[in-house]
Structures are given as structure tokens and as C-alpha cells.
Structure 1
Amino acid sequence: MKIFVITLGLLFSAVSSVNAQDIISELNVCRAESSNTQRLACYDKLSSINPKDIKSHVQADVINKTDTAVSAPLPVVKKETAKPVASQSYASRDNQVKNFGLAKIIEPEQKIEKITADVIDTKKDPYGKLIVSLENGQVWRQTGNSTLRIRTGDQVYVEEGMLGSYFLSKESSNKRIRVKRSK
């Protein structure tokens, strides 16, 4: 009985080490690719392998190793992946201005980092934070604690900061407030 348990344990350890070595060697092949798209395609091929196929491959590999035969390589299942295509309408200047400050869907190659517009209305929320409506229909709500005096008719600009933040300022001032687009 002890010999059976020891043999079974050795068999399972051989299966896991063979499988680990196969995956590591496949990953090293992918890592050696110089082209980014080729490397990504190689990693995608590795990730698309069905776990059931791995188990059957490993079992066949262990059986073949006990018979001292060479096992066949692991079958690769090719999976169709949908690639997001940057539409021309999103990349146009008008649509970039319209979508400035909203959630990022697709990053265009030439992206706008600053917009300028006239203020048509300013309000304060119950907490004293500014709500600024611009002539292009955008509404920006203050999120920080800074102060900036803005009146109707002022020309302001909104620029993108680090980590998805946005700042609103006047052309004639060196102060700025942190804002978030609400409409």
C-alpha cells in the first residue's frame, strides 16, 4: 500500500512539473518576441488554451513518458477577438470637444488637452461649490476646495490634469479649481 501511495505521489509531481515547465517555456518564447503585436498574439494564444485540454495533454504526456515515447505538442485553440476601432467621428475636433471630460472610451491619436469657452451661468451647490455652465453645453462641478471668482461672460478654459482630473481657470488668472464634468 505504501509503495502504491508513493508511486501515485511521484506520478502527480511529475505531471505538475512537466506542465509547469511547458508553460514556462511557452511564456519565455512569447517574452522573446520583439514586436508588441506579435508578443500580444503569443500571450493570447497561451491564454486561449482550454484547461481541459491541458489536463488531457498532461495525462497523455505522462503516459508517453512512461512508455518512453515523445508526446505531441499541446493543441492551440485560436479565439477570435474583437478589436476596438477608433471611429473617425469620435476623433473629429467637434466630437472631442463634446466628449471632453466624460468617461474615456477610445483615446484618439491627436487628443485635445484643453478647451476654451465662455461662461453662460454660475451657481453654487448647497455646500458652496461652484457649478459652471459653458456656452458649448457642458456643465462642470467644482470638487476641490480652492476659490476662483467666475462671472457670466468670462472666458474660461478646462484642461486635463494627472490621473483623469480636470482643472478650470480663467485666462486672466493664475488660480484654478479642480472640477468634474456633470453634463
Structure 2
Amino acid sequence: MNKWLTLLALSISLSAHAQDTALAQLTACQDISVDQKRLQCYDQALAQYQAKQPDAQKHPIAALPTANVALSAEQQQARFGIENKTIQNEQRVDNMEATIIKLTKSAHGVRTFELSNTQVWKQIGSGAFFAKQDDTVTIKRGSFNSFLMSKSGSNRTIRVKRIK
């Protein structure tokens, strides 16, 4: 560990020294009154400074191209509600419909919904929501990556979060 700290301190001091010498050369060039000689002095100072720089700074790294992959409707349905936890994609489903297979309620009244498409959603808010097993529900995308669940035939919605 001490060797790494010593090496780091040495490299920082060397780069600071290189910048100081480059600055000293540039200020010396500023005092030259003949235009052509002053220009040559600046060119030499810049060439010496660039020669001391590491190769990583000389050659910028290009970004790798990304492929825009089209997803099937089933893949989009499977990723609905969890895409923000994985990879962002341009193609998003705005809502989905499924049937509640299993409904569990915690001691604090928080409901967990297991749906027919193998997704599991958990209630976030504390509002009343009267859905039962085998009811059809619609989950819509809300603002700021939130999701709203509503029972078919009802105007009441609750905020939900996908957990699986």
C-alpha cells in the first residue's frame, strides 16, 4: 500500500514539474520581440510538452457503437416495469394487462400481486384497492418511472413497484 502511495505522489510531482517547466518556457517565449523567433519558441515549447505527455492523452478513445436491437412483443411484455433496473431501451410498452394468480397481504397492509405473466408487483401506496384473485388488472406507466395498477371496470388505482 505504501509503495502505491509513493508511486502516486511521485507521478503527481513529476507531472506538476513538467507543467511548471512548460509554463517557464512559454513565459520565456513571451519576452522575445521578433515575431518569427517568438513563434518558433512557442512551437518548440509545445513540442517538448507534448513529447512528455503519456500516450493515453495523445490518442482520444472513441466510443464503441451500440446496436439498436428490436424486441419482440413478448420480450417487451416480460421486461415491462423492470427495464429501468437493467438496460434502457427506446422501445417501451406503456401498459399491460394480466390476471392476478396470487394475492398476499403483509401485516402492514401492503399487498403483493403475482400475475399470470409470472411478474410480481408490490403495492407502494397505502390507499385502498379492492382486487381479488382471478381479477384482471391493468398496469400503466406513470410519471418518473412509476407504475399504476387498476382493476378492470374500476377507476381506482394504486402505485405499484415491480419486484420480480
Counterpart residue identity of residue 142, structure 1: Q
User: Matches of residues 1-183 of structure 1 in structure 2 within 5 Å?
Assistant: 55=19, 59=23, 60-67=25-32, 69-70=38-39, 71-72=42-43, 77-88=59-70, 91-102=71-82, 103-108=85-90, 110-183=91-164
Gaps of at least 5 residues in structure 1 are 1-51
Q: Deviation string for 1:86-135 (max 9, x for gaps)?
A: 333xx322111111111141222x32110111111111012111111100
Deviating 4+ runs (over 6 angstroms): none
Give the conservation status (yes or no) of the 8 Å contact 2:113–2:121. Answer: yes
- Calculate percent identity across the aligned residue pairs: 24
Helix, strand or coil at the partner of 1:98 = helix
Give the conservation status (yes or no) of the 8 Å contact 1:86–1:106. Answer: no
Counterpart position of 1:43: none
Q: Deviation string for 1:60-89 (max 9, x for gaps)?
A: 54443344623357975311323443333x
Shift of 1:55: 3.6
Q: Deviation string for 1:122-177 (max 9, x for gaps)?
A: 11012111111100000000010111111111110111111111111112111101
- Cα 1:112/1:56, change in 2 over 3 Å: farther
Helix, strand or coil at the partner of 2:96 = strand
Q: CA RMSD in A?
A: 2.7
Gaps of at least 5 residues in structure 2 are 1-14, 51-57
Counterpart position of 2:54: none
